[in-house]
Chain A
Amino acid sequence: MTELDTANAGNPAWIADTGLFIACGRQQNDKYTAVARFAQRHDRTFVIPHRVYDELGGAPERSTPDETPINTAIDAGWVRVADPPNYANSTVATVMDDVRGYIARASNRNEDTIEKADTALAGVAAQLLDGDEAAYIYLLTTDIHAGEGSVAAVEDAGFDGQIEVVDGFELIEEITS
Chain B
Amino acid sequence: MSTAKGDPERAVDGFIAVADLLDEPRLARLYTHVLRSDDVTIDEIVADLGIPRTTAYSDAASLVELGVLTRDETQKTHTYTALSVVLTTILDEDEYTITPTLIDAIGRAPRDPDLSLLVEKHGIGKLAAALTYAIPYTEGTMSERVAARELDLQSAFGIAVLHALREVVLDMQEHDRYFDRIRNARDNPPREDG
A positions within 8 Å CB-CB of B: 18-19, 22-23, 26, 55-56, 58-60, 62-66, 103, 106-110, 113-115, 118, 142-146
Contacts and interface: CB of A to CB of B under 8 A. Distances in A.
Contacts of A114: 146
B163 A144 contact: no
Contacts of A18: 144, 155-156, 159
Given A60-B157, A107-B186, A145 B143 contact: yes
A166 B117 CA distance: 29
A144 B160 contact: no
Interface in B5-38: none
Interface of B: 113-114, 117, 121, 136, 140-146, 149, 154-157, 159-160, 163-164, 186-187, 189
A146 B164 CA distance: 19
Given A59-B154, A108-B186, A103 B143 contact: yes
Given A60-B154, A115-B145, 18 more contacts: A22-B163, A26-B114, A55-B154, A63-B113, A63-B156, A64-B163, A65-B157, A65-B159, A106-B141, A107-B146, A110-B189, A113-B149, A118-B145, A118-B146, A143-B143, A143-B144, A144-B140, A145-B142
Contacts of A58: 154-156
